Amino acid sequence: LEDHLTGQRDYDLLVIGGGSGGLACAKEAAQLGRKVAVVDYVEPSPQGTRWGLGGTCVNVGCIPKKLMHQAALLGGLIQDAPHYGWEVAQPVPHDWRKMAEAVQNHVKSLNWGHRVQLQDRKVKYFNIKASFVDEHTVCGVAKGGKEILLSADHIIIATGGRPRYPMHIEGALEYGITSDDIFWLKESPGKTRHLTDVALECAGFLTGIGLDTTVMIRSIPLRGFDQQMSSMVIEHMASHGTRFLRGCAPSRVRRLPDGHLQVTWEDCTTGKEDTGTFDTVLWAIGRVPDTRSLNLEKAGVDTSPDTQKILVDSREGTSVPHIYAIGDVVEGRPELTPTAIMAGRLLVQRLFRGSSDLMDYDNVPTTVFTPLEYGCVGLSEEEAVARHGQEHVEVYHAHYKPLEFTVAGRDASQCYVKMVCLREPPQLVLGLHFLGPNAGEVTQGFALGIKCGASYAQVMRTVGIHPTCSEEVVKLRISKRSGLDPTVTGC
């Protein structure tokens, strides 16, 4: 420890957390010729689920979620196939075990790939749980029980978050699972109850592969997103088989003698109590920052008293000059993989390449991978009105029917796009919201224009690609204020 205290440090940069943001930092610094180490450790979930290097996105987030979402979409396409001349015997059964094994094998290949990339860049990887000893030093215990001390001139905390359990509810921890577990189940979860505000994506793909799925929502679904779009997401899911219990709160979970789980809940309006029986209960009530074991107080790093997330400035700096934090562990940052990656790379370039570029957290695009996908960038209609006033906001909108839906006779009543603009010419675009197939692909393209300050006039002068869903964005002619029917008829 004496060497660490006297300033002879092991690394130029130590990254705590081997998720998307942390790995991006480590690789960027190594490419700039710095001596780098990554410390990563996954605490098993209460149900015992564990995984490898790569963080939430790779192991229990974006990647397995999108693949299982794709499995559900394929089920819908199989139902469409006879309309297009394919003789497919219906119904077509789904094999959870086969899907799960394929998804898990892909995730494991990514785990291995990340380790190889670190090795190729000469980044030292330690699979230990790190905690601060002082502001330049962390310690951890290796598998053999040996204590390891690591010191660095600069430290970046990128530990992300973990799902929250409602500890006040009887049986929640003993019998419930979270997103940490659902993607690693060997057997089908069966009849599932999502006790949640934010599990719409999981509920969507479970319904899509034929499972009986119920979502309990106590308050506002998709909090923080445009609420008109959120309502349409719910409407679409409800019309395609997902059950919803609105304004209800669970009170206990019990295991019955036959192994099923009995959930008791209360209607928050009437106070009436009710029960239901399920195979699986999945909690998705938010996430907590993974900081508890870091001993941040030993280093002097300040956290929010309300959320326990780390407080940083515009340069990702904490209350300690050489300690930084990025990603989901940070107060007030979007919990999105690409923002953590970009913030990490820009931070490293400032530290080791003399750059002055800061991460811009405005107009960050994202997509909710519900059965009918919802993509957005910029302000929601509510945010635009709150920021600029109703009289200064113009909203252009349209319902549309994807060409692919026509032959199969699919319901397109929730396929909808709206553009939120300033009313004064040239009508700067404040936000774009798209509900329909491939929403992520659509939104990513328009995000560039909005990031560059596109106006409504410029979007309307953009030639669409026909016949696509994306072209509906450049055909928006009807404003909400006009009161005209926003339904688009195809050519």
pLDDT digits (tens, 9 = 90+) for 290-326: 999 999 999 999 999 999 999 999 999 999 999 999 9
Across the range 150-165, mean pLDDT stands at 97
CB under 8 Å to 448, separation ≥6 — which residues? none
Is residue 490 domain-resident?
Answer: no
- Calculated CA dihedral for residues 381, 383, 384, 389, nearest 10 degrees: 110
Instruction: Look at residue 136 in the predicted model and tell me its pLDDT.
Output: 97
- DSSP structural state of residue 165: P
Please state the length of the chain: 491
pLDDT in tens, 181-235: 999 999 999 998 776 545 899 999 999 999 999 999 988 899 899 999 999 999 9
pLDDT in tens, 420-451: 999 999 999 999 999 999 999 999 999 999 99
Instruction: Look at residue 125 in the predicted model and tell me its pLDDT.
Output: 98
Range of 416's domain? 365-478
Alpha helix positions (H), 32-124: 55-60, 62-80, 96-120
- DSSP structural state of residue 290: S
What CATH number has the domain bearing residue 215?
Answer: 3.50.50.60
Task: Collapse the DSSP code of 170 into the 3-class scheme (helix H, G, I; strand E, B; otherwise coil) and give the result.
Answer: strand
Is residue 358 domain-resident?
Answer: no
CB under 8 Å to 304, separation ≥6 — which residues? 310, 311, 331
Rounded Cα distance between 376 and 366, Å, is 6
Pair (371, 325) in one structural domain:
no
**Radius of gyration from C-alpha coordinates of the chain:** 24
CB under 8 Å to 113, separation ≥6 — which residues? none
Across the range 81-108, mean pLDDT stands at 96
Pair (143, 196) in one structural domain:
no
| Omega prior to 166 cis, within 30 of 0 | no
Q: For residues 466 and 452, is the Cβ–Cβ distance under 8 A?
A: no
Q: From 347, 300, 313, select the one nearest 156 (Cα to Cα).
A: 347
pLDDT in tens, 18-41: 999 999 999 999 999 999 999 999
Is residue 484 domain-resident?
Answer: no
Pair (273, 406) in one structural domain:
no
Tell me what the pLDDT averaged over the chain comes to: 95
Q: How many CA atoms lie within 13 A of 181 on its CB side?
A: 22
Is residue 359 domain-resident?
Answer: no
Pair (317, 464) in one structural domain:
no
Rounded Cα distance between 393 and 25, Å, is 40
Pair (106, 196) in one structural domain:
no
Residue ending a domain, among 284, 307, 338, is: 284
Question: Is a pLDDT exceeding 60 seen at residue 7?
Answer: no
Instruction: Look at residue 197 in the predicted model and tell me its pLDDT.
Output: 45
Is residue 488 domain-resident?
Answer: no
Q: From 459, 461, 463, select the one nearest 417 (Cα to Cα).
A: 459
CA angle 370/371/375 to nearest 5° reads 50
pLDDT in tens, 327-376: 999 999 999 999 999 999 999 999 999 999 999 999 999 999 999 999 99
| Omega prior to 338 cis, within 30 of 0 | no
Instruction: Look at residue 487 in the predicted model and tell me its pLDDT.
Output: 85
The β-bridge partners of 132 are 138
Evaluate if pTM is beyond 0.85. Answer: yes
Rounded Cα distance between 23 and 42, Å, is 15
Pair (455, 394) in one structural domain:
yes
Pair (177, 157) in one structural domain:
no
pLDDT in tens, 235-279: 999 999 999 999 999 999 999 999 999 999 999 999 999 999 999
Instruction: Look at residue 490 in the predicted model and tell me its pLDDT.
Output: 60
Task: Collapse the DSSP code of 236 into the 3-class scheme (helix H, G, I; strand E, B; otherwise coil) and give the result.
Answer: helix
Task: Collapse the DSSP code of 295 into the 3-class scheme (helix H, G, I; strand E, B; otherwise coil) and give the result.
Answer: coil
- Is 397 part of the annotated catalytic residue set? no
Pair (198, 305) in one structural domain:
no
Binding residues for FAD: 66, 328
Residue ending a domain, among 325, 353, 381, is: 353
The count of domains in the chain is 3
Is residue 397 domain-resident?
Answer: yes
pLDDT in tens, 106-124: 999 999 999 999 999 999 9
Residue 120: C-alpha distances to residues 15, 36, 110, 156, 331 (Å): 17, 12, 15, 21, 33
pLDDT in tens, 388-416: 999 999 999 999 999 999 999 999 999 99
Instruction: Look at residue 2 in the predicted model and tell me its pLDDT.
Output: 47
Q: From 6, 338, 316, select the one nearest 154 (Cα to Cα).
A: 316
Is residue 360 domain-resident?
Answer: no
- Six-digit token pair at 286? 């938010």
- Six-digit token pair at 364? 């960050």
Instruction: Look at residue 489 in the predicted model and tell me its pLDDT.
Output: 63
Pair (292, 275) in one structural domain:
no
Pair (47, 150) in one structural domain:
yes
Instruction: Look at residue 199 in the predicted model and tell me its pLDDT.
Output: 83
Residue ending a domain, among 284, 306, 335, is: 284
Binding residues for NAD(+): 286
Rounded Cα distance between 283 and 272, Å, is 22
Pair (310, 251) in one structural domain:
no
Q: Which residue has the higher pLDDT, 234 or 490?
A: 234
Taken in order 99, 101, 102, 107, the sign of the CA dihedral is positive
Pair (132, 216) in one structural domain:
no
Exposed e or buried b for every residue in 38-76, given b needs 16+ CB within 10 A? bbbbbeebbeebebbbbbbbbbbbbbbbbbbbebbbebe
Instruction: Look at residue 193 in the predicted model and tell me its pLDDT.
Output: 77
Is residue 4 domain-resident?
Answer: no
User: What is the chain's percent helix, strand, coil content, to nearest 5?
Assistant: 35, 25, 40
